Amino acid sequence: MSNGFDSAHFLAGFIAEAEDHLAATNANLLSIEAAAAKGQPTPRQVRELFRSLHTIKGLAAMVGIEPIVEVAHAMEAVLREADRAAGQLPRGAVELLLKGTRAIEQRVQALSKRKAVSPAPAALVSALAALRQSNAQASGAAASTSLPPELWSRLGAAEREQLVQGISAGRRAWLLRFVPTPARAAAGFNITAIRERLGTVAEVVKVVPQSVAATDDAPGGLAFALVILTDAADALVAEAGAVAPEELTAISLEETPAALEEGGPDDDAVDDPRHRGTVRVEVARLDDALEKLTALVVTQFRLGRATAALRAQGTDVRALAQVLAENGRQLRDLRASIMRARMVSVSELLERVPLVVRGLSQATGKSAHLEVAAGKAELDKAVAERIFPAIIHLVRNAVDHALEPPAERAAAGKPEVGAITVTCFERGGNQLELTIRDDGRGVDAVGVARRAGAPLPTSDEALLDLLTRPGLSTKTEVTTTSGRGVGMDVVKRIAVDELGGELAMRTTPGRGTAFTLRIPLSITIVDAFSFLCGGETFVVPVATVEEIQEVDLDRTVRGPDRRRTPRGESDRRRGTRGTDMIQRRGEAVPVLRLDEIFGLASPDTSHRKAIVVRRNGEPYAFAVDRMLGQQEVVVRPLEDRLVRVPGISGTTDLGDGRPTLVLDLIALGSKLMAESVTGAGA
């Protein structure tokens, strides 16, 4: 057995850690670029950038990935000089640093795919070195503060600039001291906890460890000086720092600059606590836990059926029913816990979108500002991975198709910089609604109809149907961003066909367009309604159902059958599908008979249930025999293309050992409506 160090065992951890730091690097670079456009220095972001790259370099060196070490070191050197210049980056630095970040990302991706890592790009490394040399200069503080000299000297140039800027902007600066003691440790107060508590009410500029005389009040001979900026009330700051308000020492500006000593962004002796309290878990392990949960859900169904059978035989099952109900509640709690572990933040999902917009703006010559408002919304990792390409496609369309060039926008009285907004929120606890909105020229309905060879659409819904036709693209020439025959059908296929969600659009000529996606938060275990139709049991996800109501088919208006069939045959023998119309709160709603659609024999009764769904904003309903109830079901997707049909999203097991079809009524309605229109035109 060898006791040698094998870096391969650490690659998975390195990849996960590097991806986190790269995401933070991209976000900080975009923030720096936005501030530079306003002529503002960014000392805090420069220092955070340095820390991220310093960590990546150290981790890459540990696992022996020298190309990443080389690129990160070159970027780190540029940032060290910028830190000494109080957060000022030279012209062109952001572009080079973004290229460096992309180079590191490509090599991390190669590692994750078990491919060879290419050498560091020599031209990029040389350009970064030249940039560092051009920016190398002695840094000095523009002002001094009332901080004691021994603390002021421990601050780097960027930290001094951060403190001076904060005080100049009217924020209050405080110095507080934290002394660790056994009593405080027992109460949960250590330096990491104090720093995290202060971070909720203040901006922590620096934490400086200090040696002090060992006394009863400082048994460890150690204290920490914390320099902070805040707008919060003094009492809140003191409470967060676990000190009395009178123990806060105000920091003010002084006219005479103090002497500057060498410092760097990596001098902070306290570890960054952002990743503490987090355990990294492989997705495969979460998938395994979910698989075990799905088996428990099916077993719960079987237990419920067995209990019902015993009750039908006259057995007293009250105690068993109580245990069964409690087990059901525990399963729901377990499901919620496992699903929470699989959830990813939508904000994290959208972290790369600003980079996409930046690249497209440069490629198209259009100015665009992106605003993301995701709040605390989360969704299952599997759903996030599927929906992300659709989001990117919509954002690309917004920049490339919707936004006008700056001159055209100015002529139309618009700001030269176009606005793209991405907003999302959870709906009903089981759906995510995500909207991508722009203030561009709007969708050209005439042009779309001409490209599609179809009549001019009269509504946004009809226009969206044209836009989502396979292969339709409104670009006449191939560019670096568009014109390859890949159109909005990709978005529809992902959001509607694969995820069972909805896609809607609202557009106004000259003012802009908004695309709205409504998708389930999870697609594995879902809440569903079960119902009978034609002697068969089906289920439909609760998230897709708008309403369930009674319907009397004898009091509906039967629409004409649009299919051409021989005369003299009954509707059922001909396999035709007529359409009933019912009144629902003042609007006419078409009702499709599910037994006719599937060719099933239903009992001869006029009173049925109608399941109302909505497609492109328009309601329609499906008539079924009767509802059975609501329960959690495990959806098994139909992977084989030979058995995949529109309207059936998968199968489930309700405990009887027989596969039960999971219906996608929105997709089924879309298919039937399209067939109806085609038949009418025949």
> Within this chain, do residues 19 and 124 fall inside the same structural domain, yes or no?
yes
- The answer to whether residue 328 is domain-embedded is yes
Kindly report, residue by residue over 34-63, the tens digit of the pLDDT: 877 777 777 788 888 888 888 888 888 777
Quote the pLDDT of residue 485: 42
d(CA 465, CA 443): 13
**Sign of torsion over alpha carbons 381, 383, 384, 388:** positive
674 or 493, greater pLDDT:
493
Tell which of 520, 553, 569 closes a domain: 520
Q: 263 falls in which pLDDT band (50, 70, 90)?
A: very low
Any residues with CB less than 8 A from the CB of 76 and at least 6 apart, and which?
A: 50, 53, 54, 57
Choose the final residue of a domain: 498, 520, 542: 520
**Alpha-carbon span 312 to 201, nearest angstrom:** 62
Examine the fold and report which residue of 135, 169, 184 is the final residue of a domain before the chain moves on: 135
pLDDT at 8: 57
DSSP reduced 3-state for 564: coil
Residue 372's domain spans which residues? 350-520
* 202 neighbors 228 (Cβ within 8 angstroms): yes
pLDDT tens digit string along 570-604? 444 344 455 678 877 777 888 888 888 888 887 76
- My answer on whether 567 and 508 are in the same domain is no
> Which of the four pLDDT bands, split at 50, 70 and 90, describes residue 674?
low
Sheet containing 587-593: order of strands:
547-552, 607-615, 618-624, 587-593, 580-584, 557-558
Q: How far apart are CA 669 and CA 646, in angstroms?
A: 9
In a domain, 271, yes or no: no
CB 17 within 8 A of CB 62: no
H/E stretch holding 525 reads: strand 525-533
In a shared domain, residues 399 and 506: yes
Same domain for 499 and 547, yes or no, is: no
Tens digits of residue pLDDT in 135-189: 654 344 446 788 888 888 788 767 777 888 788 778 889 998 888 888 888 888 8
553: domain CATH number is 2.40.50.180
* pLDDT band, very low/low/confident/very high, at 7 (cuts 50, 70, 90): low
| Residue length of the chain | 682
**Percent over 70 (pLDDT), the chain:** 83
- Let me know if residue 265 belongs to a domain: no
Give tens-digit pLDDT for 365-422.
888 888 888 888 888 888 888 888 899 999 998 998 899 999 999 998 999 999 999 9
User: What was the pLDDT predicted at 4?
Assistant: 45
Higher-confidence residue of 240 and 137: namely: 240
Residue 49 lies in a domain: yes
- Confidence at 276, pLDDT banded by 50, 70, 90: very low
| Amino acid 382: pLDDT | 82
At a CB cut-off of 8 Å and minimum separation 6, what does 473 contact? 451, 482, 483, 484, 485, 486, 487
Residue 623 φ/ψ, nearest 5 degrees: -85, 130
Residue 274 forms part of a structural domain:
no
pLDDT in tens, 408-466: 999 989 999 999 999 988 876 678 889 999 999 999 888 888 888 888 888 888 898 88
Report how many domains make up the chain: 5
Whether 529 has a pLDDT exceeding 70, the answer reads: yes
Q: Is the pLDDT of residue 132 over 50?
A: yes
- Residue 515, pLDDT score: 94
Mean pLDDT on 62-74: 85
Is there a domain that residue 670 lies in?
yes
For the segment 88-97, the average pLDDT, to the nearest whole number, is 79
N-terminal to C-terminal alpha carbon distance within the chain: 77
Whether residues 359 and 508 fall in one domain: yes
- Do 512 and 529 sit in the same domain of this protein? no
| Residue type at 517 in one-letter notation | L
Q: Determine what percent of the chain falls in helix, strand and coil, rounding each to the nearest 5.
A: 45, 20, 35
User: What is the chain's mean pLDDT, rounded?
Assistant: 79
CATH number at residue 100: 1.20.120.160
Burial of 483 (0-12, 13-18, 19+ CB in 10 A): middle
Q: Can you tell me the distance from the alpha carbon of 419 to that of 421, in angstroms, rounded to the nearest whole number? A: 7
Q: Are residues 28 and 54 in the same domain?
A: yes
Is residue 34 one of the residues assigned to a domain? yes
Quick one: 239 and 203 in the same domain?
yes
What does the DSSP assignment read for 305-343? HHHHHHHHTT---HHHHHHHHHHHHHHHHHHHHHHHHHE
- Pair 188, 101 in one domain: no
Q: Is the pLDDT of residue 505 over 60?
A: yes
Q: What are phi and psi of 67, to 5 degrees?
A: -55, -40
Task: Tell me: do 460 and 388 sit in the same domain.
Answer: yes
In this prediction, residue 273 carries a pLDDT of: 40
- Please tell me which residue, 89 or 317, carries the higher pLDDT value: 317
Q: Which pLDDT belongs to residue 438?
A: 93
| 339 and 354 inside one domain | no
CB 248 within 8 A of CB 172: no
- What CA–CA distance (Å, rounded) separates 275 from 489? 40
Average pLDDT of the segment spanning 504-513: 91
Q: Which CATH number do you get for residue 244?
A: 3.30.70
pLDDT for position 361: 86
> Do residues 540 and 641 share a domain?
yes
Q: Supply the pLDDT for residue 283.
A: 73
Identify whether 267 is part of a domain. no
The neighbour count for residue 615, using CB atoms within 10 Å, is: 19
Q: Which of 75-89, 264-278, 373-387, 570-584 has the lowest mean pLDDT?
A: 264-278
| Short-list 502, 530, 504, CA closest to 669 | 502
The enclosing H or E element of 519 equals strand 512-520
Cα distance between residue 675 and residue 346, in whole Å: 37
Res 656: pLDDT: 67
Q: Which of 42-51, 256-265, 557-566, 664-673 has the lowest mean pLDDT?
A: 256-265
